[in-house]
Amino acid sequence: MNERMHPSRNGNDSARPQNPGTRERNVSQVLDSNALDHTDGEGKPIPVTIPIALCDHVTVVYTTRLGGVSTGDYASCNVGGRGGDDPVSVGANRSALARQLHARISLVSQVHSGIAADADLFSDNAAYGYDFSGGAHGDRGPAPAVKADGQVSARAGVALGMFAADCLPVLLADPQAGVIAAAHCGRKGLQAGILANTIGMMRSKGARTDSIVATLGPRICGDCYEVGSDIADEFDSQFPGTYTLTTYGGPGIDIAQAALQELHRAGVDHIVDSRGRIDAATQYLDHDEELSALCQADGEASPVLGQRVQDMKNSLCTVENPLWYSHRRAALAHKSHEGRLLAFIVRED
């Protein structure tokens, strides 16, 4: 039996990515993740995801590049509909995630703004909220997209998703009030106050800031995010201490540090670190055939994947860790396109 056909809902208890994690009872199989098929018996994709238990009844799930049906520069679990990928592939990847999450997926059209949207007002209207940019809805013409970079919900069974490929997704929950949120925190969104606005909407739906738990998802790190000195100066004046000198030698910024400052300013100090789980998942996949093949296709065959994972400084960094889609890494690989990951937060009943 192919156990990848039966993604576990209880993957939270495992340090491994969700689908390989279902195999942990059989040690000999755990040692060979490559025996896993990428599609189920009906040819549907089985995304490899990393779940993190944020707090009671609330789970955060990060998608990786693995386990989908997209090909070429988008391989293989691209969930972004704007980058030119085949909408049928994007839709299949998203549908597979909805099945795995046992939840309706709510997406918005992200525009690097400070706008937070109440997902409870629109998430019942379409299979994927109002994001028609990809998947099966792509041929419906101009869509009434909700333009926002934060989503808030007081419902169970709705997976709020934020796309990213270097920008920082921040996931938040007040487990007492049952209010969850996801925010897309790029440089511009942070400067526009996306976190304060998202937390403000959580409060308007009954959350208390001192009950909110947050975690920061995969993002480009301060060592890798090179920007012009003017931009770095401006960002640092708003978020002191976030100016960096990157490994490329130029000025950069640390968007995760800025997000932590914003959370603290808003009264949110309970931060769960996603890194331990992501470290473990990355090490688990350090000989994965699909991931190795993706690295080779990106011209990153050397050092081999296992060595690269050992040498990695920050598994959360989208540039450093090949598990994630990264706009910057794709550009370095001279690719004209790249996919998007999704960071989800969902509350169970």
| Chain contacts with Zn ion (rule: CB under 5 A) | 221, 223-224, 317, 319-320
Q: Report which of 173, 318, 179 is spatially closest to residue 256, judged by C-alpha positions.
A: 318
Q: How far is the CB of 168 from Zn ion (least distance, A)?
A: 12
Q: How far is the CB of 105 from Zn ion (least distance, A)?
A: 28
Return the amino acid letter for 270: H
Contact 119, 160 (CB under 8 A): yes
DSSP codes, 177-235? TTEEEEEEE-HHHHHTTHHHHHHHHHHHTT--GGG-EEEE-SB--TTT-B--HHHHHHH
Q: How far is the CB of 52 from Zn ion (least distance, A)?
A: 20
Indicate the pairing of strand 168-174 with strand 213-216. antiparallel
Q: How far is the CB of 259 from Zn ion (least distance, A)?
A: 15
The smaller minimum CB distance to Zn ion, of residues 73 and 223, is found at 223
Residue 139, exposed/middle/buried by CB under 10 A (0-12, 13-18, 19+)?
exposed
**Residues in contact with 129: Cβ distance below 8 Å, sequence separation at least 6, in sequence order:** 105, 106, 107, 108, 119, 122, 123, 146
Residue 85's alpha-carbon distances to 134, 271, 335, in angstroms, are 8, 35, 13
Q: How far is the CB of 247 from Zn ion (least distance, A)?
A: 8
**Residues in contact with 10: Cβ distance below 8 Å, sequence separation at least 6, in sequence order:** none
Strand, coil or helix: 132:
coil
Q: What angle do CA 298, 70, 327 make, to 5 degrees?
A: 45
Return the amino acid letter for 343: A
The smaller minimum CB distance to Zn ion, of residues 114 and 169, is found at 169
Q: How far is the CB of 308 from Zn ion (least distance, A)?
A: 13
Contact 108, 130 (CB under 8 A): yes
Q: How far is the CB of 213 from Zn ion (least distance, A)?
A: 25
Return the amino acid letter for 49: T
Q: How far is the CB of 317 from Zn ion (least distance, A)?
A: 3
Contact 219, 167 (CB under 8 A): yes
The smaller minimum CB distance to Zn ion, of residues 62 and 128, is found at 62
Return the amino acid letter for 329: R
The smaller minimum CB distance to Zn ion, of residues 55 and 255, is found at 255
The smaller minimum CB distance to Zn ion, of residues 97 and 221, is found at 221
Q: How far is the CB of 320 from Zn ion (least distance, A)?
A: 4
